[in-house]
Structure 1
Amino acid sequence: MLSILGFSTIILFMFLVMTNLMSAFVAIIVSPILFAVIGGFGNELGSMMLEGIKLVAPTAVLLLFAVLYFGIMMNAGLFDPVSRKILKIAKGDPVKIVIGTAILSLLVALDGDGTTSYMIICSALLPIYKRIGINPLVLATIAVMSLGTISGMTPWGGAATRAISVLGLDSTEYFKPLIPAILCGSAWIILTAYVMGRLERKRIGIIHLEKVEQEMAASQEMAATIAEGKPANSKLIWFNFLLTLALMIALVLGLAPLPILFIVGFVIALSFNHPNLAEQKSVIKENASHAVPVVMLVLGAGIFTGILSETKMVDSMASDLLRIIPDSFGPFFTIIVGLISLPLSFLMSNDAFFFGALPVLAQSASEYGIHPIEIARAGVIGQPLHSMGPTSAPLWVLLELVRRDLGQFQRYALIPVTILSIMFIVFALITGAISIAW
C-alpha cells in the first residue's frame, strides 16, 4: 500500500510538472499531501513537513547567499579582464577563440543562473564568431557543456541543490570529493573546444581582423551590463578576485560550513562594492529575483521529502525496486544511477528527476551499503545532457541568441555532450566521488 501511494505521488508530481498544469513549487507540495491524506496520515502532516523543512534549511541558506554573491561579482565585471585577455590573445584564430570561449563559459557558469550566463557569453563572444565566420553552434555547445558541469554540479547550482536538499545531505561533504571530477570535466571541455576549434580553423582558416579589439571592447561593454542593465563596477576587480579566491580556498579546506562562508562573503562583497545603503537595497532586490524561486523549490523539496520519509513510503518503494535489480548488480548501483541519469536528465525536468526518482534510487542504494551522497553525485552526472534537453528553460534563450533551432543544435551537440557525460562517470570513479561497493 505504501509503495502504491509513494509511486502515485511521484507519478502525479511528474505529470503535473511535465504538462505544465502546476508550477514545480505547487506540485511538489500538493502531490505528497494528497496521497498522505489518502493513506491516513492527515493528522501527522504538520510535523512531517516541518521535519523536512528543517532538513533542507542549510541548503536554502547556501543557495540564497551564493546566488547573491555571484550576482555582485558579475555586476562588478569580475571576469571581464579574463575575457578581454582571451580575445586579445586569440585575435582571429578559431582555435584560440573557441578555447577562450570554454574558459570564459566555465567561469561565468559559477553564477549558477543559466539565462544570465548564456547572455553574458553570447554578448561577449557572438559578434566575434559572426565576424570571423565560426559556427555559432560551437559557442552554444561549449556554453551548454560548461553550464551543465559547473552550475549543474556545484552545490549552489540548481540540480545539485535539489539533490542535496531532497536527500538531506551536507553540501560541503557532497562537494569536496566532487571537485577533482569537476576539474577533470572542465579540462575535457577545454580539450573538446580545442578539437572544435581545429575543425573550424580547417574550414575557415585564421582571419586577421584589424578591428578585433574595438569589437571586443564593445561586446564586453554589453556583457558587463547584461545582467542588471547598468555599467559594471570595475574599480574593485582585484579585491573581488582575491575575495572569491579566498572563499574557494576556505570552501575546499572546510574552514566553515558553506552557508556561513557565503553569508560572510556576501556581506563583505556587498559592503565594499556597494557602500551606499540605497544601492545595497537595490542590488539585493535585483539579484534576489534569481535566488528566490529556487529557494522556494528547496523548501518545497523539504516538505516532499519529509512526507515521503516520515510515512515510510520511500522505504517501501525502495524494497520493491530492489526485487527487480539482480543482487549481482548491487555493487555497481552508483554507476547504474549515473547511466540512468543521462537519458532521464535529458528527457525530464530537474524537478521531476531529483524530487521524484532520486530519493527512490538513494533508498535502494542504501540496501547495498551505498551512502545517499554518492547517489547525489551520480545523479548530477547527466546535467550536461539536461542542459541541451527540451526541458531546460535557459536553452531556449541560448538558441534565440545564436539564431538556431533545437533540432540543429541537438544534432550538432549530442555526441560531444554525451561523451562528456560518460567521461564524468569515469572521472568520478577515478577520483573517488563515486565508488563500486565491493
Structure 2
Amino acid sequence: MLALLGFAMVATFMTLIMTRRAAPLVALIVVPVVFGLIAGHGLDLGPMMLEGVKKIAPTGVMIMFAILYFGLMIDAGLFDPAVRRLLVLVRGDPVRVVVGTVVLAVGVSLDGDGSTTYMVTVAALLPLYARLGLNPLIMACLIMLSSGVMNLTPWGGPTARAATALQVDPAALFLPMVPAMAVGVVWLLLLAWVYGRRERRRLGVLTLDRPAPDPEGLITVSTDPAARRPRLLWVNAGLTLALLITLVTGLVPLAVLFMAGFAIASLINYPQPEALRARIAAHAPNVIAMVAVIFSAGIFTGVLTGTGMVEAMPRSLLALIPPQMGPYLAPITAALSLPMTFFISNDAFYFGVVPILAEAASHYGISKEAIGSASLIGQPFHLLSPLVPSTYLLVSLAGVEFGDHQRFTWPWAVATCAVMGVAAAMLGVFPVWG
C-alpha cells in the first residue's frame, strides 16, 4: 500500500507540473500532504515536513546567494566582453555554440558536483544563447545530460555510494565504465550537432567580424546601464575566479562561500545601500521563486521518507522480478536504475536496493562489481527527478520552467541511458545473462 501511494504521489506531481495544471511550488506542498493523509498520517506530517526542510536548507541558502552573486556580476557587466569575444570565436554559428555546450559541460563536470557545473556553464553560456536567440531548453538539456554522464567519476557521488554499499574499490566500478561514458559523450555531441543544425536553420548565422566597441549596448548581458561597472571588470573577474576555485576545491561549504562572495561583491560594486537594494530588488523575483521551490521540495522528500514510502517503493519493484529472470539481473539492474533513482534518492537506491540485487545475482555467477557498474547507468535520467535539488538550480539559472525542462529532456535522458547501457553490455562491463 505504501509503495503504491509513493508511486502515485510522484506520478501525480509529475502529471500536474508537466500539464501545467499546478505550479511546482504548489504541487510540491499539496501533493505530499494529501497522500500523507491518505497514508494515515495526521499531525505527525508536520515533523516529517520540517525534517525535510532542515535537510535541504543549506542547498536553499546556497542557491539564493549564488543567484544574487551572479546577478550582481551580470549587472556589473562582467560577462559582456566575454560574450562579444565568444560571438567572434563561434562566428555566430548556432552549431558551434550548441556543440560547445557539451564540451564545456563535460569539462566542468570533472569536479563531480552538479551545482558547480550548472553555475559555471550557465553563467558562461546563457548570455550567448540569449544574444543568438537560441532555445535555452537545449542548453539546460545538454548541460544536465553531460553532468549525468560525468557524474560517474569516483568522486561524483553515485559510484562512491555503490562501491561503499557493495564493499568494493570504486575504481573497480568506474574504470570499466570509462569507455561507455566516452560513448555517452560522443552521443551527446551528436545530439548537440543535430540541435545546432536545427537552430541554424531557424535563426541563421549572426555575423560579427571582430569584438568591436559596442556603444549602443547591442552586445551585452547587463540590462541596466547605470549598474555597469566597467572599471571594476578585472576586480570582479578575479573575485569570481577565486570563488570558483574555492568552490571546486571544496574547502568551504557552498552556502557560506556564496554568502561571503555576495557580501564582498556588494561592497566592491555597490557600496551605497540604495544601489544594493536596487540590485537585490531586480533579482528578488528569481530568488524568491527559486528558494520557495527548494524548500517545498524539502516538504516533498520529508513526507516521502517519513511515511516509509521511500523504503516500500524499491521493495515492491524487486518483488516483481520472477526467479527465472535471475540470469538477466545485470541488465535488469541497469533498467531499474532509471525509475529507482527517479522515484527515490540515490542513497535509498544504492544502500537499500543494490546490495539485494547483488546478492541475488551472485547465485547466477554475476559479480557484484558488474551489478555495481550496471546500477550507474540511470544517472542521466536521475537528474530529472523532482527530488534532485541541483536541477531546480539549473532551471532557475537557465530561466526555464521545471516542467518544460522535464518534458523536453526526458526522451533524451532515456536515450542517453540506453546508449550507455548498450555500450557497457557490448564492452563486457556487465553480462547480458549470467
Structure 1 length-normalised TM = 0.61
Say which SS state the counterpart of residue 348 (structure 2) adopts: helix
Q: Distance in 1 between matches of 2:192 and 2:345?
A: 37
| Richer in helix (by share) | 1
* Match in the other structure for 1:27: 27
For residues 148-201 of structure 1, the C-alpha deviation after alignment (integer angstroms, 9 at most, x for no partner) is 34467779xxxxxxxx9xxxxxxxxxxxx9xx9999999987888789989999
Structure 1 residue corresponding to 2:221, chosen from 219, 224, 230 = 224
Matched, 1:358 2:354: no
Q: Distance in 2 between matches of 1:250 and 1:144?
A: 29
1:303 to partner: Cα distance: 1.1
Amino acid at match of 1:3: A
**Alpha carbons 1:111, 1:151 under 8 Å: kept:** no
Unaligned runs of 5+ in 1: 127-138, 156-163, 165-176, 342-353, 398-405, 430-434
**Alpha carbons 2:146, 2:185 under 8 Å: kept:** no
For residues 346-378 of structure 1, the C-alpha deviation after alignment (integer angstroms, 9 at most, x for no partner) is xxxxxxxx9xx4327863443114799997665
* Match in the other structure for 2:70: 70
Say which SS state the counterpart of residue 217 (structure 1) adopts: coil
Q: Distance in 2 between matches of 1:11 and 1:420?
A: 21
Q: Distance in 1 between matches of 2:380 and 2:66?
A: 20
1:280 to partner: Cα distance: 0.7
Amino acid at match of 1:83: V
Matched, 1:276 2:272: yes
For residues 59-106 of structure 1, the C-alpha deviation after alignment (integer angstroms, 9 at most, x for no partner) is 1111111111111122222222222223445668x5xx7536765896
* Match in the other structure for 1:308: 304
CA-based RMSD of the aligned residues comes to 5.3
Matched, 1:288 2:290: no
Structure 2 residue corresponding to 1:368, chosen from 354, 359, 375 = 354
Q: Distance in 2 between matches of 1:124 and 1:249?
A: 28
Q: Distance in 2 between matches of 1:185 and 1:69?
A: 33
1:43 to partner: Cα distance: 2.5
1:423 to partner: Cα distance: 9.9
Q: Distance in 1 between matches of 2:45 and 2:144?
A: 34
Q: 1:150 to 1:272 in 2, by over 3 A?
A: farther
Unaligned runs of 5+ in 2: 106-116, 149-156, 158-173, 356-371, 386-390
Matched, 1:319 2:305: no
* Match in the other structure for 2:253: 257
1:336 to partner: Cα distance: 3.3
Q: 1:40 to 1:87 in 2, by over 3 A?
A: closer
* Match in the other structure for 1:44: 44
Amino acid at match of 1:221: L
Q: Distance in 2 between matches of 1:293 and 1:21?
A: 18
Q: How many residues align?
A: 352
* Match in the other structure for 1:297: 293
Amino acid at match of 1:241: A
* Match in the other structure for 2:14: 14
**Alpha carbons 1:53, 1:306 under 8 Å: kept:** yes
Q: Distance in 2 between matches of 1:183 and 1:82?
A: 29
**Alpha carbons 1:2, 1:317 under 8 Å: kept:** yes
Amino acid at match of 2:221: A
Matched, 1:125 2:132: yes
Q: Distance in 2 between matches of 1:122 and 1:301?
A: 29
1:114 to partner: Cα distance: 7.9
Matched, 1:2 2:9: no
* Match in the other structure for 1:148: 141
Q: Distance in 2 between matches of 1:23 and 1:69?
A: 26
